[in-house]
């Protein structure tokens, strides 16, 4: 908490005024720094579910955010960090314009963007499901290689319409 | 949650019922897969995976079940998933595996 | 989430290794920016309770953190902002060394530190209870006037021993 | 939660039972105090404040109750708090008002 100039946010409704009740969440941020240890996943799920539910998301919508994050973290552990359990992952959940923005930052191997995509599901085999699940559960999923190494993954989900199944919500950056 | 995901294995004739408990994620899916595949060495005619006590599963857990499915198919062993919770059912639907697996909520039907 | 140098935290146990289980929370931060509107209090309580519970605090201990924060926010609204409902308050909850650190920042009138204290409770009258409650519920309560105006209030509560009634826990800064 | 904290007022002879609902904090304590003090104009012999549906109360709610207490004492009206939830009981204890108020969990005793 720095000593920035105070900001008075008179617009809890975002930019079009349709957002929820008078006590709607305005600026909420949850941050976690974890190690790339699969044993951490459970604790992240608990914390994220609580945060999303407290924002007013339905159990169903919160469950999708939790699943998408779990899949993304699993991929970071397995692919970016090759299974090493002691590397850092930074997790940031923030509410902006009635959207939940999930940012995951790793410092591991960058994947060529083309390799990260969902596959043909009619071919029944183990694996290759994570990216498909992430795009199904969130409104947007975007991988950005960081200039100084590692990757920033940003996923968004609308709080307005959070039970919606659509893969392209209004939350694109 | 670091304990074995397979709580109990009970046999009803040649039907093996494996009761799974706890969240199945990357932390526990390898142990699940190993346990389930190991069960095939006992030569069951049918394997019932009781998922009623699994509140949550991610794609690594699903992968373990798919691995089990292809192995059982090769061996001619039947496989049934029993009573997946809403969240587990949901991930099976998202990955379109709900129609690939035999799923039931009836223990009687599962072990028949 | 900046592009800072990655930090590898190999010591989830804090500095003495006694802290909880292997999946104990390491670095968790919850931030909220609210307006000084009493209608916001409910939503803050919901979010804070979820966060504290997800950290592994008991319901009882989480309830105390929630109550102390509610009292502190009520005082900021009433005393620092004289009841104005549109002024900013920044809320920050962070876990460090197995302690929950709650920081509340306002940009209102600073109180002389001597005026903020608990009173003789045997005198039964309405009011004058908030500061007493805060010190009862938390391990430490510290008001710091900010050089650029307003006040930073820091309250701490141990996660190790979070049901303890003592007013002086191990969480002093 | 912006609706009136006093859900219902029922009379049993000269005993007024005010049933409160929802969290009582700075957002709602003024309305609570106004409603409870207004009730005294009806000249009850006893006021029972039913707190069973109040999950949470902070010091602003407690202040409203203390204000009611001192007013009832002046008027010679009895005051009973009925069935406070664990959290409400806890703040009454922390502020050492649990021995100042008459508190009971029995509706029968409260309205006697
Ligand atoms: N965080 C990541 N870093 C590097 N590569 C990744 C990452 N996430 C996914 N990938 C790549 O995308 C592919 C598809 O991922 P996914 O759908 O989760 O299936 P799986 O992980 O089972 O292969 C992976 O095989 C991997 O090549
Ligand atoms: N955030 C604050 N800013 C300025 N003054 C404060 C603040 N919090 C408390 N005070 C001062 O401390 C006194 C005691 O506060 P408290 O115990 O909460 O009782 P009450 O608010 O009912 O007076 C207040 O009357 C006020 O003078």
pLDDT of residue D51: 98
Whether the pLDDT of residue C19 is over 60: the answer is no
Closest-approach residue (CA) in chain C for D97:
C124
Confidence band for A164, pLDDT divided at 50, 70 and 90: low
Give the lowest-confidence range in A94-103, B92-101, C10-19.
C10-19
Residue D90 covered by a domain: yes
Q: What is the mean pLDDT of residues B82-102?
A: 97
Report d(CA C115, CA A164) in Å as an integer: 52
Confirm or reject: Cβ of C69 under 6 Å from ligand 2.
no
pLDDT band (50, 70, 90) for residue A48 = very high
CATH number for the domain spanning B91: value is 3.30.750.24
Total number of domains constituting chain A: 1
A107-161 pLDDT per residue, tens: 999 988 778 888 888 888 888 899 999 999 999 999 999 999 999 999 999 998 6
Among C131, C145, C141, smallest CA distance to C167 is for C141
Report whether residue A159 contacts ligand 1, using a CB cutoff of 6 Å. no
Cβ neighbours of residue A5 closer than 8 Å, sequence gap 6 or more: none
**Residue range(s) defining the domain that contains residue C134:** 12-158
The domain that contains C83 carries what CATH number? 3.30.565.10
pLDDT, residue A112, reads 82
Mutate to test the pocket of ligand 1, among A130, A142, A143, A146 (most ligand atoms within 8 A of CB): A130
Number of domains in chain D: 1
The answer to whether A57 and B44 have CB atoms below 8 angstroms apart is no
Please state the rounded mean pLDDT for residues C120-138.
92
Report phi then psi at C91, rounded to 5: -120, 135
Closest approach atom of ligand 1 to CA A128: 19
Kindly state the percentage of chain B with pLDDT values over 90. 96
Give the position of tokens 């008001």.
C143
CA Rg, chain D, in Å?
13
- D67 vs chain C: nearest CA distance in angstroms? 6
B58, with CB counted inside 10 A (0-12, 13-18, 19+), is: buried
CB D61 within 8 A of CB C73: no
Q: Is the pLDDT of residue A66 over 90?
A: yes
Ligand 2 pocket, mutate which of C87, C130, C153 (most atoms under 8 A from CB)? C130
Q: Which of A71, A125, A132 sits opposite B58 (nearest CB)?
A: A71
Average pLDDT of chain A is: 83
Calculate what percentage of chain B has a pLDDT beyond 70.
98
Q: Are A37 and C42 in contact (CB under 8 A)?
A: no
Pick the more confident residue, A114 or B19. B19
Measured between beta carbons, which residues in chain D are less than 8 angstroms from residue C125?
66, 70
Residues in chain D whose beta carbon is closer than 8 A to a beta carbon of chain C? 1-2, 23, 25-27, 56, 58-60, 62-64, 66-67, 69-70, 87, 90-91, 94-97, 100
Query: Percent of chain A beyond pLDDT 90?
Result: 63
Q: Which residue of A has its CA nearest to B33?
A: A126
Confidence at residue C164, expressed as pLDDT on a 0 to 100 scale: 54
Residue A16: per-residue pLDDT: 32
- pLDDT at residue A126, as a whole number: 86
Query: What string of pLDDT tens digits covers the 112 residues of chain D?
Result: 447 999 999 999 999 999 999 999 999 999 999 999 999 999 999 999 999 999 999 999 999 999 999 999 999 999 999 999 999 999 999 999 999 999 999 999 999 9
> Would residue B1 count as lying in a domain?
no
Residue range C114-134: mean pLDDT, rounded:
88
Q: What is the pLDDT of residue C78?
A: 97
Please indicate, yes or no, if residue C4 is contained in any of the structural domains. Answer: no
For B57-81, write each residue's pLDDT tens digit: 999 999 999 999 999 999 999 999 9
pLDDT at position B3 is 79
Answer yes or no: is the C-beta of A126 below 6 A from any ligand 1 atom: no
Of A9-18, A61-70, C59-68, the range with the lowest mean pLDDT is A9-18
A127 touches ligand 1 (CB under 6 Å) = yes
Ligand 1 centroid to Cα of residue B35, in Å, is 25
| For residue C115, pLDDT beyond 70 | yes
Residue C172: per-residue pLDDT: 60
Mutual angle of helices D59-75 and D86-94, in 10-degree steps: 70
Q: In whole angstroms, what is the distance from residue A56 CA to residue B39 CA?
A: 44
Cβ-defined contact of B91 to A45 (cutoff 8 Å): no
Q: So what's the pLDDT on residue A160?
A: 82
Identify how many contiguous H helices and E strands chain A contains and give both numbers. 3, 5
Cβ within 8 Å, pair A23-C8 = no
D16–chain C nearest CA distance, Å: 23
Q: Is C4 helix (H, G, I), strand (E, B) or coil?
A: coil
* Contact between A129 and B95 using a beta-carbon 8 Å cutoff: yes
> Could you give the percent of chain C with pLDDT greater than 70?
78
pLDDT-based confidence at A173, cuts 50/70/90?
A: low
- Centroid of ligand 2 to alpha carbon of D2 (angstroms): 25
Q: Are D49 and D35 in contact (CB under 8 A)?
A: no
Output Rg (C-alpha) for chain B, integer angstroms. 13
The yes-or-no verdict on residue A106 having pLDDT over 60 is: yes
pLDDT at B39: 97
Q: How many CB pairs below 8 A link A and C?
A: 128
Cβ contact (<8 Å) for A133 and B95? yes
**b/e string for C148-171 if b means 16 or more Cβ within 10 A?**
eebbbbbbbbbbbebeeeeeebbb
pLDDT value at residue C173: 53
The finding on whether C53 has its CB within 6 A of some atom of ligand 2 is: no
Local confidence band at A41 (pLDDT 50, 70, 90 cut-offs): very high
pLDDT band at C125; cut points 50, 70, 90: confident
Confidence bin at A169 (pLDDT 50/70/90):
low
CA distance C60 to C66: 10
In this complex, do C32 and A30 lie within 8 Å of one another by their Cβ atoms? no
In which band, very low, low, confident or very high, does the pLDDT at C8 lie, cut at 50, 70 and 90? very low
Of A50 and A162, the one with more pLDDT: A50
Q: What is the ipTM for the molecules in this complex? A: 0.82
> Residue D54 is part of which domain span?
6-111
Does A145 reside within a domain?
yes
DSSP string, A70-84: HHHHHHIIIIISTT-
Q: Give the chain A residue nearest C31 (alpha carbons).
A: A29
pLDDT for residue C4 is more than 60: no
Whether A30 is in the pocket of ligand 1, judged by its Cβ within 6 Å, is: no
| Residue from the list C41, C67, C126 with its beta carbon closest to the beta carbon of D91 | C67
């Amino acid at each position: 908490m720095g000593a920035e100039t105070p900001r008075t946010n008179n617009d809890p409704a975002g930019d079009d005024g349709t957002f929820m009740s008078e006590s709607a969440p305005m600026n909420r941020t949850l941050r976690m720094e974890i190690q790339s240890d699969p044993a951490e996943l459970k604790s992240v799920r608990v914390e994220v579910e609580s945060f999303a539910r407290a924002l007013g998301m339905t159990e169903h919508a919160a469950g999708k955010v939790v699943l998408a994050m779990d899949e993304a973290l699993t991929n970071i552990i397995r692919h970016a960090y090759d299974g090493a359990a002691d590397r850092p992952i930074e997790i940031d959940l923030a509410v902006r314009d009635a959207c939940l923005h999930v940012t995951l930052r790793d410092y591991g191997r960058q994947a060529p963007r083309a390799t990260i995509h969902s596959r043909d599901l009619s071919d029944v085999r183990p694996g290759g499901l994570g990216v498909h699940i992430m795009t199904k559960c969130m409104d947007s999923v975007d991988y950005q290689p960081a200039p100084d190494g590692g990757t920033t993954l940003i996923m968004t989900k609308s709080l307005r319409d959070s039970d919606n199944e659509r893969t392209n919500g209004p939350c694109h950056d | 949650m670091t304990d074995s995901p397979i709580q109990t294995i009970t046999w009803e004739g040649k039907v093996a019922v494996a009761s799974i408990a706890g969240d199945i994620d990357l932390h526990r899916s390898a142990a699940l897969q190993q346990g389930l595949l190991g069960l095939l060495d006992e030569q069951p005619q049918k394997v019932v995976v009781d998922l009623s006590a699994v509140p949550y599963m991610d794609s690594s857990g699903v992968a373990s079940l798919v691995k089990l499915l292809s192995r059982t198919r090769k061996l001619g062993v039947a496989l049934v998933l029993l009573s997946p919770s809403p969240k587990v059912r949901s991930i099976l639907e998202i990955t379109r595996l709900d129609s690939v697996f035999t799923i039931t909520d009836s223990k009687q039907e599962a072990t028949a």
